[in-house]
Amino acid sequence: MSDGGDVIVIGAGIVGAACARELARRGQRVLVLDAGLPAATAAGMGHLIVLDDNPAELALCQYSLQRWRDWAGEMPEDCAYRQNGTLWLAANAEEMAVAEAKCLALSEHGLDCQLLGSSALQAAEPELRQGLHGALKVSGDGILYAPNAARWLLDHPLIERRQGHAVEIDGNRVRLASGAWLRAEAVILAAGNQAGALCPELPITPKKGHLLITDRYPGRISHTLVELGYVSSAHNSSGPSVAANIQPRPTGQLLIGASRQFDSTDAEVEPQMLARMLRRAVDYMPGLASLNAIRAWTGLRAASPDGLPLLGEHPQRAGLWLAVGHEGLGVTTAPGSAALLVAQLFGETPPLAAHAYLPQRFLGAAAHA
Protein backbone atom coordinates (compact mmCIF):
# COMPACT_ATOMS: atom_id res chain seq x y z
CA MET A 1 0.00 0.00 0.00
CA SER A 2 1.45 3.32 -1.10
CA ASP A 3 0.76 6.78 0.24
CA GLY A 4 -1.55 8.77 -2.02
CA GLY A 5 -1.29 11.98 -0.04
CA ASP A 6 -4.25 13.38 1.86
CA VAL A 7 -6.61 13.13 -1.13
CA ILE A 8 -6.43 11.28 -4.44
CA VAL A 9 -8.18 12.88 -7.41
CA ILE A 10 -8.90 10.57 -10.33
CA GLY A 11 -8.97 12.70 -13.47
CA ALA A 12 -6.76 15.59 -14.57
CA GLY A 13 -9.38 17.46 -16.58
CA ILE A 14 -10.76 20.84 -15.61
CA VAL A 15 -13.07 19.53 -12.86
CA GLY A 16 -10.41 17.33 -11.28
CA ALA A 17 -7.89 20.16 -11.52
CA ALA A 18 -10.27 22.60 -9.82
CA CYS A 19 -10.91 20.09 -7.01
CA ALA A 20 -7.17 19.58 -6.54
CA ARG A 21 -6.56 23.33 -6.41
CA GLU A 22 -9.35 23.86 -3.86
CA LEU A 23 -7.85 21.13 -1.66
CA ALA A 24 -4.28 22.43 -2.00
CA ARG A 25 -5.49 25.89 -1.05
CA ARG A 26 -6.53 24.35 2.28
CA GLY A 27 -3.11 22.77 2.80
CA GLN A 28 -3.98 19.27 1.61
CA ARG A 29 -1.45 17.11 -0.23
CA VAL A 30 -3.17 16.01 -3.43
CA LEU A 31 -2.27 13.24 -5.84
CA VAL A 32 -3.94 13.66 -9.25
CA LEU A 33 -4.06 10.51 -11.38
CA ASP A 34 -4.00 11.18 -15.11
CA ALA A 35 -4.85 8.12 -17.21
CA GLY A 36 -3.93 9.95 -20.42
CA LEU A 37 -7.35 9.17 -21.96
CA PRO A 38 -9.30 11.61 -24.17
CA ALA A 39 -11.02 14.21 -21.99
CA ALA A 40 -13.88 16.59 -22.65
CA THR A 41 -11.68 19.41 -21.31
CA ALA A 42 -9.46 19.25 -24.40
CA ALA A 43 -12.32 18.69 -26.84
CA GLY A 44 -14.78 21.39 -25.76
CA MET A 45 -15.32 25.04 -26.70
CA GLY A 46 -14.29 26.55 -23.38
CA HIS A 47 -17.41 28.71 -23.31
CA LEU A 48 -18.02 30.21 -19.86
CA ILE A 49 -21.76 30.66 -19.87
CA VAL A 50 -24.67 31.03 -17.48
CA LEU A 51 -27.47 28.62 -18.36
CA ASP A 52 -30.76 28.81 -16.51
CA ASP A 53 -32.67 25.66 -17.37
CA ASN A 54 -33.34 25.33 -13.64
CA PRO A 55 -32.40 27.33 -10.52
CA ALA A 56 -29.63 24.92 -9.48
CA GLU A 57 -27.95 25.17 -12.88
CA LEU A 58 -28.15 28.96 -12.82
CA ALA A 59 -26.73 29.16 -9.29
CA LEU A 60 -23.77 26.89 -10.05
CA CYS A 61 -22.97 28.72 -13.31
CA GLN A 62 -23.25 32.18 -11.78
CA TYR A 63 -21.07 31.33 -8.77
CA SER A 64 -18.48 29.64 -10.97
CA LEU A 65 -18.23 32.46 -13.50
CA GLN A 66 -17.54 34.90 -10.70
CA ARG A 67 -14.69 32.64 -9.57
CA TRP A 68 -13.25 32.61 -13.10
CA ARG A 69 -13.45 36.40 -13.19
CA ASP A 70 -11.73 36.59 -9.81
CA TRP A 71 -8.93 34.37 -11.13
CA ALA A 72 -8.52 36.27 -14.40
CA GLY A 73 -5.64 38.39 -13.12
CA GLU A 74 -3.72 35.32 -11.90
CA MET A 75 -4.10 33.14 -14.98
CA PRO A 76 -1.31 33.18 -17.56
CA GLU A 77 -2.09 34.57 -21.00
CA ASP A 78 -2.08 31.12 -22.59
CA CYS A 79 -5.29 30.33 -20.70
CA ALA A 80 -6.86 32.76 -23.20
CA TYR A 81 -9.48 34.04 -20.77
CA ARG A 82 -11.71 36.75 -22.23
CA GLN A 83 -14.95 38.22 -20.92
CA ASN A 84 -16.44 38.77 -24.38
CA GLY A 85 -20.10 38.13 -23.56
CA THR A 86 -22.72 35.94 -25.22
CA LEU A 87 -25.38 37.03 -27.71
CA TRP A 88 -28.41 34.74 -27.61
CA LEU A 89 -29.85 35.12 -31.10
CA ALA A 90 -33.60 35.31 -31.71
CA ALA A 91 -34.58 34.33 -35.26
CA ASN A 92 -38.25 35.24 -34.91
CA ALA A 93 -40.81 36.89 -32.65
CA GLU A 94 -41.38 33.70 -30.66
CA GLU A 95 -37.67 33.39 -29.86
CA MET A 96 -37.50 37.08 -29.02
CA ALA A 97 -40.17 36.45 -26.38
CA VAL A 98 -37.94 33.69 -25.00
CA ALA A 99 -35.03 36.16 -24.95
CA GLU A 100 -37.15 38.64 -23.01
CA ALA A 101 -38.13 36.02 -20.43
CA LYS A 102 -34.52 34.89 -20.14
CA CYS A 103 -33.39 38.49 -19.67
CA LEU A 104 -35.89 38.97 -16.86
CA ALA A 105 -34.85 35.74 -15.12
CA LEU A 106 -31.12 36.48 -15.32
CA SER A 107 -31.54 40.13 -14.33
CA GLU A 108 -33.45 39.07 -11.22
CA HIS A 109 -30.30 37.18 -10.19
CA GLY A 110 -28.08 40.20 -10.70
CA LEU A 111 -26.61 39.32 -14.10
CA ASP A 112 -25.74 42.09 -16.56
CA CYS A 113 -28.20 41.56 -19.43
CA GLN A 114 -29.42 43.70 -22.30
CA LEU A 115 -32.00 43.12 -25.01
CA LEU A 116 -30.93 44.16 -28.52
CA GLY A 117 -33.41 44.85 -31.28
CA SER A 118 -32.77 43.90 -34.88
CA SER A 119 -30.85 47.07 -35.81
CA ALA A 120 -28.80 47.09 -32.60
CA LEU A 121 -27.85 43.45 -33.19
CA GLN A 122 -26.79 44.20 -36.74
CA ALA A 123 -24.63 47.06 -35.51
CA ALA A 124 -23.03 44.87 -32.84
CA GLU A 125 -22.33 41.94 -35.19
CA PRO A 126 -22.56 42.96 -38.88
CA GLU A 127 -21.60 39.44 -40.05
CA LEU A 128 -24.96 38.07 -38.91
CA ARG A 129 -27.64 37.60 -41.55
CA GLN A 130 -30.33 40.20 -42.06
CA GLY A 131 -33.76 39.56 -40.61
CA LEU A 132 -32.95 38.33 -37.14
CA HIS A 133 -35.38 39.78 -34.60
CA GLY A 134 -32.77 40.59 -32.01
CA ALA A 135 -30.76 39.07 -29.20
CA LEU A 136 -30.13 38.89 -25.49
CA LYS A 137 -26.64 40.08 -24.53
CA VAL A 138 -25.17 38.53 -21.37
CA SER A 139 -22.05 40.58 -20.72
CA GLY A 140 -20.45 38.48 -17.97
CA ASP A 141 -20.01 35.32 -20.07
CA GLY A 142 -16.57 34.54 -21.44
CA ILE A 143 -14.20 32.08 -23.06
CA LEU A 144 -11.21 30.08 -21.89
CA TYR A 145 -8.65 27.65 -23.29
CA ALA A 146 -9.48 24.87 -20.87
CA PRO A 147 -6.44 22.55 -21.25
CA ASN A 148 -4.08 25.35 -20.24
CA ALA A 149 -6.42 26.49 -17.48
CA ALA A 150 -6.42 22.95 -16.05
CA ARG A 151 -2.62 22.87 -16.19
CA TRP A 152 -2.49 26.21 -14.35
CA LEU A 153 -4.85 24.94 -11.65
CA LEU A 154 -2.60 21.91 -11.11
CA ASP A 155 0.54 24.04 -10.83
CA HIS A 156 0.78 24.07 -7.03
CA PRO A 157 3.51 22.71 -4.71
CA LEU A 158 1.01 20.53 -2.83
CA ILE A 159 -0.34 18.90 -6.02
CA GLU A 160 1.40 15.95 -7.65
CA ARG A 161 0.16 14.99 -11.12
CA ARG A 162 1.05 11.40 -11.92
CA GLN A 163 0.43 9.24 -14.98
CA GLY A 164 -1.66 6.37 -13.70
CA HIS A 165 -4.70 4.43 -14.84
CA ALA A 166 -7.07 3.62 -11.99
CA VAL A 167 -8.86 0.29 -12.53
CA GLU A 168 -10.57 -0.24 -9.17
CA ILE A 169 -11.84 1.91 -6.30
CA ASP A 170 -12.47 0.54 -2.82
CA GLY A 171 -13.64 3.46 -0.71
CA ASN A 172 -10.54 5.55 -0.09
CA ARG A 173 -8.24 3.09 -1.88
CA VAL A 174 -7.39 3.01 -5.57
CA ARG A 175 -5.79 0.16 -7.55
CA LEU A 176 -3.75 1.09 -10.59
CA ALA A 177 -3.35 -0.94 -13.78
CA SER A 178 0.15 -1.78 -12.55
CA GLY A 179 -1.41 -3.62 -9.60
CA ALA A 180 -0.26 -1.06 -7.04
CA TRP A 181 -2.75 0.18 -4.45
CA LEU A 182 -2.86 3.78 -3.29
CA ARG A 183 -4.58 5.02 -0.14
CA ALA A 184 -5.64 8.46 1.04
CA GLU A 185 -8.09 10.04 3.47
CA ALA A 186 -10.50 10.49 0.56
CA VAL A 187 -10.75 9.75 -3.15
CA ILE A 188 -12.45 12.15 -5.60
CA LEU A 189 -13.68 10.65 -8.87
CA ALA A 190 -13.64 13.36 -11.55
CA ALA A 191 -13.00 11.23 -14.61
CA GLY A 192 -15.89 12.23 -16.89
CA ASN A 193 -17.12 9.38 -19.07
CA GLN A 194 -14.36 7.11 -17.76
CA ALA A 195 -16.00 7.24 -14.31
CA GLY A 196 -18.50 4.59 -15.40
CA ALA A 197 -15.76 1.98 -15.74
CA LEU A 198 -14.88 2.45 -12.05
CA CYS A 199 -18.44 2.94 -10.82
CA PRO A 200 -20.87 1.18 -13.19
CA GLU A 201 -23.80 2.29 -11.03
CA LEU A 202 -23.29 5.94 -12.02
CA PRO A 203 -26.05 7.21 -14.37
CA ILE A 204 -23.63 8.80 -16.83
CA THR A 205 -24.46 8.90 -20.56
CA PRO A 206 -21.97 10.07 -23.19
CA LYS A 207 -23.16 12.75 -25.61
CA LYS A 208 -21.00 13.09 -28.70
CA GLY A 209 -20.30 16.53 -30.11
CA HIS A 210 -18.53 17.90 -33.19
CA LEU A 211 -16.47 21.10 -33.39
CA LEU A 212 -14.64 22.85 -36.20
CA ILE A 213 -12.07 25.64 -36.15
CA THR A 214 -11.22 28.03 -38.96
CA ASP A 215 -8.07 29.75 -40.08
CA ARG A 216 -7.32 33.19 -38.61
CA TYR A 217 -9.83 35.90 -39.51
CA PRO A 218 -9.42 38.61 -36.86
CA GLY A 219 -12.32 40.91 -36.12
CA ARG A 220 -15.10 39.00 -37.85
CA ILE A 221 -17.15 38.74 -34.63
CA SER A 222 -16.57 39.90 -31.07
CA HIS A 223 -19.19 38.03 -28.99
CA THR A 224 -19.94 34.34 -28.73
CA LEU A 225 -23.03 33.85 -30.89
CA VAL A 226 -25.56 31.23 -29.80
CA GLU A 227 -29.01 30.62 -31.23
CA LEU A 228 -31.78 30.42 -28.67
CA GLY A 229 -32.61 26.96 -29.99
CA TYR A 230 -29.38 25.80 -28.34
CA VAL A 231 -31.14 25.34 -25.01
CA SER A 232 -33.68 22.85 -26.34
CA SER A 233 -30.91 21.14 -28.32
CA ALA A 234 -28.65 20.84 -25.28
CA HIS A 235 -31.35 19.18 -23.22
CA ASN A 236 -32.76 17.00 -25.97
CA SER A 237 -33.18 13.56 -24.43
CA SER A 238 -33.04 11.53 -27.62
CA GLY A 239 -31.85 11.76 -31.18
CA PRO A 240 -29.15 13.90 -32.79
CA SER A 241 -29.46 17.68 -32.75
CA VAL A 242 -27.52 20.75 -33.88
CA ALA A 243 -27.56 24.43 -32.94
CA ALA A 244 -25.51 27.40 -34.09
CA ASN A 245 -22.71 28.30 -31.68
CA ILE A 246 -19.92 30.50 -33.06
CA GLN A 247 -17.08 31.66 -30.84
CA PRO A 248 -14.27 34.13 -31.60
CA ARG A 249 -10.90 32.93 -30.31
CA PRO A 250 -8.14 35.36 -29.24
CA THR A 251 -6.07 33.97 -32.14
CA GLY A 252 -8.58 35.38 -34.66
CA GLN A 253 -9.93 31.92 -35.40
CA LEU A 254 -13.60 31.01 -35.19
CA LEU A 255 -14.69 27.94 -33.26
CA ILE A 256 -17.95 26.50 -34.59
CA GLY A 257 -20.40 24.10 -32.91
CA ALA A 258 -22.53 22.53 -31.68
CA SER A 259 -23.95 19.04 -32.15
CA ARG A 260 -25.25 16.35 -29.79
CA GLN A 261 -25.64 12.64 -30.39
CA PHE A 262 -26.66 9.81 -28.06
CA ASP A 263 -26.27 7.03 -30.59
CA SER A 264 -22.51 7.27 -31.25
CA THR A 265 -19.41 7.04 -29.10
CA ASP A 266 -17.08 6.67 -32.07
CA ALA A 267 -14.41 9.38 -31.98
CA GLU A 268 -14.42 9.73 -35.77
CA VAL A 269 -15.81 12.89 -37.36
CA GLU A 270 -19.07 12.06 -39.11
CA PRO A 271 -19.27 14.12 -42.33
CA GLN A 272 -23.08 14.12 -42.41
CA MET A 273 -23.38 15.40 -38.84
CA LEU A 274 -20.60 17.93 -39.34
CA ALA A 275 -22.26 19.24 -42.51
CA ARG A 276 -25.60 19.57 -40.75
CA MET A 277 -23.97 21.54 -37.93
CA LEU A 278 -22.13 23.85 -40.32
CA ARG A 279 -25.25 24.53 -42.39
CA ARG A 280 -26.94 25.67 -39.20
CA ALA A 281 -24.07 28.04 -38.38
CA VAL A 282 -23.95 29.42 -41.94
CA ASP A 283 -27.68 30.11 -41.74
CA TYR A 284 -26.91 32.65 -39.00
CA MET A 285 -23.58 33.87 -40.34
CA PRO A 286 -23.50 33.43 -44.14
CA GLY A 287 -19.88 34.59 -44.49
CA LEU A 288 -18.70 31.41 -42.76
CA ALA A 289 -19.21 29.55 -46.02
CA SER A 290 -16.22 31.30 -47.60
CA LEU A 291 -13.79 30.77 -44.70
CA ASN A 292 -11.09 28.13 -44.60
CA ALA A 293 -11.50 25.38 -41.99
CA ILE A 294 -8.31 23.83 -40.67
CA ARG A 295 -9.55 21.10 -38.32
CA ALA A 296 -12.66 19.29 -37.11
CA TRP A 297 -12.88 16.91 -34.16
CA THR A 298 -15.28 15.28 -31.72
CA GLY A 299 -15.61 14.82 -27.98
CA LEU A 300 -17.90 13.09 -25.50
CA ARG A 301 -19.79 14.99 -22.81
CA ALA A 302 -20.59 13.02 -19.64
CA ALA A 303 -24.27 13.72 -18.97
CA SER A 304 -26.44 12.93 -15.97
CA PRO A 305 -30.19 12.28 -16.40
CA ASP A 306 -31.21 15.70 -15.09
CA GLY A 307 -28.34 17.72 -16.56
CA LEU A 308 -26.80 18.56 -13.18
CA PRO A 309 -23.51 17.14 -11.90
CA LEU A 310 -23.20 14.64 -9.08
CA LEU A 311 -21.25 16.41 -6.32
CA GLY A 312 -20.84 14.71 -2.97
CA GLU A 313 -19.90 11.50 -1.20
CA HIS A 314 -21.01 8.25 -2.81
CA PRO A 315 -23.84 7.02 -0.55
CA GLN A 316 -22.71 3.37 -0.73
CA ARG A 317 -18.92 3.82 -0.86
CA ALA A 318 -17.56 5.63 2.17
CA GLY A 319 -14.47 7.66 1.36
CA LEU A 320 -15.33 8.03 -2.34
CA TRP A 321 -16.48 11.46 -3.47
CA LEU A 322 -18.04 12.21 -6.87
CA ALA A 323 -17.56 15.16 -9.20
CA VAL A 324 -19.05 13.82 -12.43
CA GLY A 325 -21.91 14.34 -14.91
CA HIS A 326 -21.27 17.95 -15.93
CA GLU A 327 -22.18 17.42 -19.61
CA GLY A 328 -21.30 20.60 -21.54
CA LEU A 329 -20.80 22.76 -18.45
CA GLY A 330 -17.68 21.19 -16.98
CA VAL A 331 -15.41 24.11 -17.85
CA THR A 332 -17.95 26.69 -16.76
CA THR A 333 -18.85 25.09 -13.45
CA ALA A 334 -15.51 23.55 -12.41
CA PRO A 335 -14.73 26.23 -9.77
CA GLY A 336 -18.17 26.04 -8.16
CA SER A 337 -18.23 22.25 -8.30
CA ALA A 338 -14.88 22.09 -6.53
CA ALA A 339 -15.88 24.59 -3.85
CA LEU A 340 -19.17 22.82 -3.19
CA LEU A 341 -17.60 19.34 -3.05
CA VAL A 342 -14.64 20.28 -0.86
CA ALA A 343 -16.87 22.15 1.58
CA GLN A 344 -18.90 18.96 2.02
CA LEU A 345 -15.73 16.92 2.45
CA PHE A 346 -14.63 19.21 5.28
CA GLY A 347 -18.07 19.30 6.88
CA GLU A 348 -18.55 23.01 6.14
CA THR A 349 -21.57 24.90 4.88
CA PRO A 350 -21.22 24.91 1.07
CA PRO A 351 -21.28 28.20 -0.85
CA LEU A 352 -24.42 26.93 -2.59
CA ALA A 353 -27.25 24.75 -1.33
CA ALA A 354 -25.94 21.26 -2.08
CA HIS A 355 -29.17 19.25 -2.22
CA ALA A 356 -29.80 19.52 -5.98
CA TYR A 357 -26.34 18.13 -6.82
CA LEU A 358 -26.06 15.28 -4.30
CA PRO A 359 -25.44 11.78 -5.73
CA GLN A 360 -28.25 10.42 -3.51
CA ARG A 361 -30.82 11.67 -6.01
CA PHE A 362 -29.79 8.78 -8.27
CA LEU A 363 -27.82 6.38 -6.08
CA GLY A 364 -29.88 6.57 -2.90
CA ALA A 365 -32.76 4.49 -4.28
CA ALA A 366 -30.38 1.73 -5.30
CA ALA A 367 -29.24 1.38 -1.69
CA HIS A 368 -32.75 0.29 -0.64
CA ALA A 369 -33.55 -1.88 -3.65
2-44+146-204+306-367 and 83-140+205-303: same fold? no
pLDDT band at 314 (very low <50, low <70, confident <90, very high): very high
* pLDDT > 70 fraction of the chain, expressed in percent and rounded: 95
Dist CA 51 CA 175 (whole Å) = 37
Distance CA 243, CA 256 (A): 10
Please give the residue that has the higher pLDDT: either 87 or 43: 87
CATH 3.30.9.10 assigned to 83-140+205-303: yes
Q: How buried is 36 (Cβ within 10 angstroms: 0-12 exposed, 13-18 middle, 19+ buried)?
A: exposed
Q: What CA–CA distances, in Å, run from 50 to 112, 139, 142, 240?
A: 11, 10, 10, 23
* Residue-level pLDDT at 230: 66
Nearest to 158 by CA among 32, 30, 280, 343: 30
> For the chain, what are the domain ranges?
2-44+146-204+306-367, 83-140+205-303
pLDDT confidence bin for 62, thresholds 50/70/90: very high
pLDDT in tens, 322-341: 999 999 999 999 999 999 99
pLDDT at 37: 80
Smallest Cα–Cα separation from 138: which of 167, 109, 166? 109
Pick the CATH number of 2-44+146-204+306-367 from 2.60.40.3950, 3.50.50.60, 1.10.10.350, 3.40.228.10: 3.50.50.60
Report cis status (omega within 30 of 0) of the bond before 80: no
- Residue 238 in this model has a pLDDT that exceeds 90: no
The pLDDT value given to residue 33: 96
pLDDT digits (tens, 9 = 90+) for 299-312: 999 999 999 999 99
- The pTM (predicted TM-score) of the whole model is 0.93
